[in-house]
Amino acid sequence: MKLRKVLNILLSIGLLVFVAACGGGSDDGDPTPDTNQPPADTVTPQDTGTPDTTTPPGQDTTQPEPDLVQPVPDVPLPPPGDGNDSFADAVDLPMNSQSPTLESLSPVGDVDYFTFEGSKGQLILIDTEAQNPPFDKNTVDLVVTLYDSNEQQIALNDDPFPRSTNDSTLVTVLPADGTYYVSVSECWTWAASKGLPDGSCASPQDKSVTDYALFLSSLDPAQDNIAADAETGNSAADATAVGYVKNQSGQYLLSVIYGTFADNLDLDVFAFQLPADATVSSGRSVGYFSIHPAGVESNGSTSPIGSAYITTVDDTATTIAFIDASLGGSLDVPLPLDVPHLLFLQHPGGLAGANDFYVINHRSGGSNPLEEDDVANNTAAGAQALTASPKDNGSTGYFIEANLGVGDVDVYMFDVPMAMKDTISVACGGQRSGSGVRGLKAELLNEAEAAIPGGSSTETATDDLLIQNVAVPAGDTLLHLRVSAASQATDVTSDFYRCGIHFQAAQ
């Protein structure tokens, strides 16, 4: 089979993203609805996509992140039962090899083990590729787990962050010099070992495609698109510059921002400026910052980020966007190109951990289609008609991005696709994408403008706005989405939001 290798640093987001157990927490293996529509303005690498709430990306509240892939020559796969089924039998995993390690999870229940030598503070990428296309129910849904020399789990990845496939991608900072182990398993096998319910993984359990490629890379902080905090100070004057690098096609690769918190009072500052020539294929320019979650069930950091916020260089007292990253979410913020900004990252406080690091995928890109008339669409009578955007997994989506002033209400209308008329899901991002909008609320209305049962959700600091798998009213060919908010934060100036609407046919 023809496989591809992700050459740039990737991973998870973009944006508000739902990290679900293998297969998105549903038997169909489809990703959780996103708020960004898939982006057409970047090279989309296998593991750096973001769910779609924008005109293609998001928590799906922003579009997929870019990455660079290149074909890898066909290599014969090893026969099943290769013997690397335990820590004792782990096989060497080469670092920075130009060729992938090719394996197969066969028979059902197989787990493969690998080993490598690493160094304290080393930024590594463990990347897999099996699914083509993404979210293929008949291809293994991979889970990668990292262990220390004592065979104790220190990190895990089921789906990339943000999620663009069921293949796994783990970016972590190693806590010590020594031997490490990696296991690769199928979601069903992993879920059974954790005692999780069957619905955690995509059916069927016995996959017809079990081959996968595995890569281990040490990411070089000297690369221009990798910004490593230098701990030179905690102020704007000492900010670490974020760089941007183009591939051979002239498209910008993902930039990776990472660092460690020196103590529980540490504040790290990064200076960035979205490139003046960045492609904005839809809507307006957006700066996407996908924050990898912490913990042994995620990237392995012993602390999440606390406050994460953006200001301009000229006015550091005015906060444009803010999230408490310890509660989840991402910063996916409409920002002008070629204007200097600052990103502040603060330790959440409390006791410092042994390996308090953070990793953020950053890129610039376009947004979802924009609201056209903020005054006319305050009622269903003046609702803005949305344009359908077919998705790779066969479903149909609609996407929108707008600003929501105090007291404003936005109403949109959209057709029910006849081939996908059974259920509808909606994901919107505001506060958990960095906006100052508070209490963002989305309501589904039927053709007669009456509320659809189960079709309402409100965003909070801890909970995403998600309406999932609501039955489409029988006979309706057109629906409405009404968006409102409770208030505007007094200490955050932005008031943006974005939504993705997704239809699905019964399986």
The per-residue pLDDT for range 286-341, each reduced to its tens digit, is 999 999 999 999 999 999 999 999 999 999 999 999 999 999 999 999 999 999 99
pLDDT band for position 118 (50/70/90)? very high
Sheet with strand 211-218: strands edge to edge: 101-104, 211-218, 123-129, 169-173
pTM of the model: 0.86
Structure token pair of residue 315: 């006015």
Contact between 236 and 267 (Cβ < 8 Å): no
CATH class name, domain 376-504: mainly beta
Contact between 242 and 272 (Cβ < 8 Å): yes
pLDDT band for position 61 (50/70/90)? very low
- The SS3 call for residue 55 is coil
| pLDDT > 80? residue 49 | no
How far apart, in Å, are the Cα atoms of 328 and each of 265, 331, 333, 462?
20, 10, 16, 7
How far apart, in Å, are the Cα atoms of 349 and each of 217, 307, 353?
32, 10, 10
The stretch 260-287 carries a mean pLDDT of 96
The stretch 88-100 carries a mean pLDDT of 95
Cα–Cα dist 329/327, whole Å? 7
**Any idea which architecture 226-365 has in CATH?**
Sandwich (2.60)
Between residues 312 and 78, the one the model is more confident about: 312
Between residues 69 and 437, the one the model is more confident about: 437
| pLDDT > 90? residue 36 | no
Antiparallel, parallel or unpaired: β 496-504 and 396-403: antiparallel
Q: Name the DSSP class of 139.
A: B
pLDDT at position 77, please? Answer: 45
Residues 465-485 pLDDT 10s: 999 999 999 999 999 999 999
pLDDT band for position 39 (50/70/90)? low
The stretch 240-268 carries a mean pLDDT of 95
pLDDT at position 402, please? Answer: 98
Kindly list the domain boundaries of the chain, sorted by start residue: 226-365, 376-504
| pLDDT > 70? residue 216 | yes
Contact between 37 and 199 (Cβ < 8 Å): no
Residues 179-213 pLDDT 10s: 999 999 999 999 999 888 877 788 888 999 999 99
The overall average pLDDT reported for the chain is 85
Would the CATH topology of 226-365 be identical to that of 376-504?
A: yes
Between residues 401 and 232, the one the model is more confident about: 401
The stretch 387-413 carries a mean pLDDT of 88
| pLDDT > 90? residue 218 | yes
Q: Which stretches does DSSP call E strand in 131-225?
A: 142-147, 153-157, 169-173, 178-186, 211-218
| pLDDT > 70? residue 78 | no
pLDDT at position 84, please? Answer: 93
| pLDDT > 80? residue 26 | no
pLDDT band for position 220 (50/70/90)? very high
Residues 6+ apart with CB under 8 A from 27: 199, 202, 203, 507
The stretch 214-241 carries a mean pLDDT of 92
pLDDT band for position 279 (50/70/90)? very high
The stretch 66-89 carries a mean pLDDT of 57
